[in-house]
């Protein structure tokens, strides 16, 4: 007798297959190539494989009869899932068996991550209303009796057919107008910016053209090439910011620009070259010409913004840190040396304050906290930390110097998120054995002998701190437990250290460790973020946050639970902690595709009130308390089941 199969579909990947009755969902996901995370290898101890059973496939609403808890249901599912979550059909994939046709939704945090440059475009619904639209018109040929200029002929026809009045023309578009008109046999397609200016004319009838949204990060530069008529992202290309050669963080770039001869020129030249590369590669991937890119938007922190515009960032680095400009800016892309359509504009989003830049404005218009009642805390973790707190009543923002710890810098064995970096780890509570995964390898260190680890990147460091705390290796104050016995815990002249990867698991030939100094760096960084949030909460007179939005590519790849456990932000229902990916890049894309959002960005950027932390009287005390894991005094009702009982 053949065991009957069930149809299992995984969302959002769409992976599907016939699965034998009684298989666990985690096992099923491996069979069909879906990508559910499982740090503990299915033992029911890591709590990473949370999924949602969307529906019994047929008939509807038969979830309970389509899946069956494995024998450990009571223990495993209860340990990692709240009552509400269980009611809403969340299950641990490793301890739930398939008993009928089901659709399984895999939340983002339960998916396996593979990308090294982690700036994919997020799917968002965007109302289409681009700044540049294309119009095709047929013109009457010139005769001796009617020898009107070609431009006037085009203007008249665009006015007649599309009610476009008082159009000017960009100089670049004018240059070969006559040749273009004749090449198209008097039929041409004009690209018109904001209904005001003809920025491009091409022969014949053309589709709607493309736009490039660029997110200029301190470390990464990402470009999203979009079809302006469908809104679709047709190609993405990301590179390391070539300015990294001149300094890792914002302050070192400012110093370079100010102190070195031609410093600004070099930094500016590097980013322009980089963006031209991004534009060229994205165009090549999509099979279009650079000249088909007829609009461009850009976001970046204030320093990246200024250097990109070739504006001396000198004053950004000196109190009172005034930027050259706040408003959004429309300039010709060619004036910066950007190689897209010669007549195209570049729209640079506005900035909020000295250290809260256009990238944060991008997050703002993507997340729209100003349209909601709930109190949202938006955390953008990049090389600098930027925070927004508020709702439709009021919005505050601040920035905090997190230091480079989250990027893997100033950490003994820290490294960038590159192949060989430990990006995820889990410490078995009893044995204190470490399971980890490195970028560029699909398998776990428990599955292969030499897994080729080279160091730990930011998300791995988050996990390490949280897991070491939960496993009792360090205490709330970050101090190593002096009583703990483990061959992974060593005392050295520089203080204690904990071995994450043994030399045999690495490609560097030595143990990879987390030391006391690393933990202190994490504490400083997370303490800065927490106290930023806390001071803003004081200003608004609120005690509770309804929603935490983790923006930035980094925010998508850190473990939300690890972040909560170490106290990156005040207590919040885990269901309401959402990673939204590169929301800054999304903001650039939204502004590219919907011109109305550009105005909204200008209005909202001005409405956000900037809180200068360093001059807040409570800063020092708040910061000290926030260095404790997860916090010295604050309660974390949503973490009660996880945190050590000693509290």
What residues line the site for a second copy (CB under 8 A)?
142-144, 146-152, 168-169, 171-172, 174-179, 182, 309-312, 314-315, 319-327, 329-332, 335-336, 351, 353-354, 610, 612, 615
Which residue matches tokens 């289409």? 128
Cβ atoms 307, 241 nearer than 8 A: no
Q: In this structure, what DSSP letter does residue 121 have?
A: P
Q: Please state the three-class secondary structure of 185-245 as a single string.
A: CCEEEEEEECCCEEEEEEECCCCCCEEEEEEECCCEEEEEEEECCCCCEEEEEEEECHHHH
Beta-bridge mates of residue 190: 135, 201
Q: Which is nearer to a second copy, 92 or 346 (CB)?
A: 346
Q: Using CB atoms within 10 Å of the CB of residue 65, give its burial: 0 to 12 exposed, 13 to 18 middle, 19+ buried.
A: exposed
Euclidean distance between CA atoms 42 and 213, whole angstroms? 41
Q: Which is nearer to a second copy, 37 or 170 (CB)?
A: 170
Q: Is the peptide bond before 59 cis (omega within 30 degrees of 0)?
A: yes
Q: Which is nearer to a second copy, 112 or 168 (CB)?
A: 168
Cβ atoms 44, 27 nearer than 8 A: no
Q: Which region, left, alpha or beta, applies to residue 102 given φ > 0 means left and ψ of -120 to 50 means alpha?
A: beta
CB of 343 to a second copy, least distance (A): 10
CB of 309 to a second copy, least distance (A): 7
Query: By three-state DSSP, how is residue 320 classified?
Result: coil
CB of 389 to a second copy, least distance (A): 19
CB of 329 to a second copy, least distance (A): 8
CB of 326 to a second copy, least distance (A): 4
Provide the CA 260 distance to its chain's centre, in angstroms: 32
CB of 351 to a second copy, least distance (A): 8
Q: Which is nearer to a second copy, 126 or 142 (CB)?
A: 142
Euclidean distance between CA atoms 593 and 127, whole angstroms? 7
Helix residue spans in 50-144 (DSSP H)? 63-66, 78-80, 83-87
Report the largest interatomic distance among the alpha carbons of the chain, rounded to a whole angstrom. Answer: 100
Q: Which is nearer to a second copy, 354 or 458 (CB)?
A: 354
CB of 537 to a second copy, least distance (A): 21
Q: Which is nearer to a second copy, 151 or 471 (CB)?
A: 151
Q: What b/e string do you get for 248-277 counting C-beta neighbours within 10 Å, with b at 16 or more?
A: bbbbebbbbbbeeeebbebbbebbbebbbb
E strands, 16-167, where?
Answer: 16-20, 50-56, 67-69, 90-92, 96-98, 102-105, 132-138
Q: In this structure, what DSSP letter does residue 559 have?
A: -
Q: Which is nearer to a second copy, 105 or 610 (CB)?
A: 610
CB of 153 to a second copy, least distance (A): 8
Q: Which is nearer to a second copy, 214 or 564 (CB)?
A: 214
Q: In this structure, what DSSP letter does residue 164 have?
A: -
CB of 611 to a second copy, least distance (A): 11
CB of 189 to a second copy, least distance (A): 18
CB of 268 to a second copy, least distance (A): 10
CB of 322 to a second copy, least distance (A): 4
Q: In this structure, what DSSP letter does residue 350 have?
A: P
Q: How many helices (H) and strands (E) does the chain have?
A: 18, 29
Query: By three-state DSSP, how is residue 23 classified?
Result: coil
Which residue matches tokens 């500016």? 268
Q: Which is nearer to a second copy, 4 or 320 (CB)?
A: 320
Q: Which is nearer to a second copy, 329 or 508 (CB)?
A: 329
Q: Which is nearer to a second copy, 308 or 436 (CB)?
A: 308
Q: Which is nearer to a second copy, 121 or 591 (CB)?
A: 591
Q: Which is nearer to a second copy, 3 or 147 (CB)?
A: 147
Backbone angles phi and psi of 36, in degrees to 5: -80, 135
Q: And the tokens for 279?
A: 């534009």
Q: And the tokens for 257?
A: 């620009």
Q: Please state the three-class secondary structure of 376-434 as a single string.
A: EEEEEECCCEEEEEECCCCEEEEEECCCHHHHCCCCCCECCCCCCEEEEEEECCCCCCE
Closest CA to 251 of 304, 174, 209, 208: 304
Euclidean distance between CA atoms 195 and 576, whole angstroms? 41
CB of 165 to a second copy, least distance (A): 14
Cβ atoms 443, 429 nearer than 8 A: no
Closest CA to 210 of 287, 154, 136: 287
Closest CA to 122 of 328, 363, 429, 418: 363
Strand order through the sheet with 102-105:
16-20, 5-11, 102-105, 50-56, 90-92
Q: Which is nearer to a second copy, 519 or 605 (CB)?
A: 605
CB of 295 to a second copy, least distance (A): 17
CB of 263 to a second copy, least distance (A): 15
Number of residues in the chain? 647
Q: Which is nearer to a second copy, 167 or 389 (CB)?
A: 167
Q: Which is nearer to a second copy, 264 or 563 (CB)?
A: 264
Kindly calculate the radius of gyration of the chain based on its CA atoms and give it in whole angstroms: 27
Backbone angles phi and psi of 548, in degrees to 5: -115, 125
CB of 226 to a second copy, least distance (A): 24
């Amino acid at each position: 007798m053949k065991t009957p199969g069930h149809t299992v579909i995984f969302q959002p990947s769409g992976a599907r297959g016939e699965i034998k009755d009684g298989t666990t969902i985690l096992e099923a996901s491996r069979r069909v190539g879906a990508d559910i995370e499982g740090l503990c290898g299915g033992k029911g101890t890591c709590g990473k494989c949370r999924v949602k059973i969307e529906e019994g496939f047929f008939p509807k609403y038969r979830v309970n009869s389509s899946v069956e808890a494995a024998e450990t249901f009571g223990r495993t599912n209860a340990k990692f899932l709240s009552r509400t979550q269980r009611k809403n059909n969340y299950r641990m994939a490793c301890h739930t068996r398939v008993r009928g046709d089901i659709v399984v939704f895999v939340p983002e945090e339960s998916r396996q991550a593979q990308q090294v440059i982690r700036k994919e475009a997020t799917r968002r619904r965007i109302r289409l209303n681009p700044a540049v639209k294309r119009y095709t018109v047929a013109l009457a040929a010139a005769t001796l009796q009617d020898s009107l200029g070609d431009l006037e002929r085009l203007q008249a026809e665009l006015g007649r057919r599309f009610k476009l009045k008082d159009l000017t023309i960009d100089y670049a578009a004018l240059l070969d107008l006559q040749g273009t008109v004749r090449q198209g046999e008097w039929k041409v397609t004009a690209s018109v910016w904001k209904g005001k200016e003809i920025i491009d004319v091409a022969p014949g009838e053309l589709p709607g053209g493309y736009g490039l949204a660029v997110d200029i990060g301190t470390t990464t530069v990402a470009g999203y090439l979009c079809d302006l008529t469908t809104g679709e992202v047709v190609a993405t290309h990301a590179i390391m910011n070539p300015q990294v050669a001149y300094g890792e963080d914002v302050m070192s770039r400012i110093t370079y620009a100010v102190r070195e001869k031609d410093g600004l020129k070099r930094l500016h030249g590097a980013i322009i070259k980089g963006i031209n590369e991004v534009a060229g590669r994205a165009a090549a991937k999509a099979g279009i010409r650079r000249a088909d890119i007829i609009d461009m938007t850009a976001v970046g922190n204030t320093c990246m913004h200024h250097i990109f515009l070739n504006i001396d960032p000198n004053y950004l680095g000196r109190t009172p840190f005034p930027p050259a400009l706040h408003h959004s800016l429309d300039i010709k892309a060619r004036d910066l040396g950007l190689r897209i359509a010669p007549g195209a504009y570049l729209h640079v989003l506005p900035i909020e304050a000295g250290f809260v830049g256009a990238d944060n404005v991008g997050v703002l218009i993507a997340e729209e906290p100003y349209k909601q009642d709930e109190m949202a805390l938006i955390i953008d973790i990049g090389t600098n930390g930027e925070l927004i707190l508020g709702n439709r009543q009021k919005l505050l923002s601040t920035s905090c110097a997190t230091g480079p710890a989250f990027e893997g810098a100033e950490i003994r064995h820290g490294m960038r998120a590159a192949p060989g970096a430990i990006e995820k780890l889990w410490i078995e509570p009893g044995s204190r054995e470490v399971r980890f995964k490195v970028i560029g390898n699909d398998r776990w260190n428990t599955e292969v002998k030499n897994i080729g680890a080279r160091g730990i990147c930011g998300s791995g460091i988050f996990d390490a701190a949280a897991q070491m705390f939960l496993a009792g290796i360090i205490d709330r104050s970050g101090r190593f437990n002096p009583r703990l016995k483990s061959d992974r815990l060593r005392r050295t002249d520089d203080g204690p250290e904990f071995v994450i990867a043994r030399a045999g698991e690495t490609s560097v030939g030595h143990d990879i460790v987390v030391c006391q100094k690393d933990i202190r760096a994490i504490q400083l960084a997370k303490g800065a973020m927490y106290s930023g949030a806390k001071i803003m909460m004081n200003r608004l007179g609120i005690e509770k946050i309804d929603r935490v939005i983790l923006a930035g590519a980094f925010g998508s790849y850190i473990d939300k639970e690890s972040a909560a456990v170490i106290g990156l932000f005040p207590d919040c229902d885990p269901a309401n902690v959402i990673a939204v990916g590169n929301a800054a890049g999304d903001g650039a894309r939204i502004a590219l595709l919907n011109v109305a959002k550009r105005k909204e960005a200008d209005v909202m950027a001005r409405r956000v009130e900037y809180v200068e932390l360093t001059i807040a009287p409570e800063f020092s005390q708040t910061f000290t308390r926030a260095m404790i894991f997860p916090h010295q005094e604050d309660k974390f009702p949503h973490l009660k089941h996880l945190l050590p009982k000693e509290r």
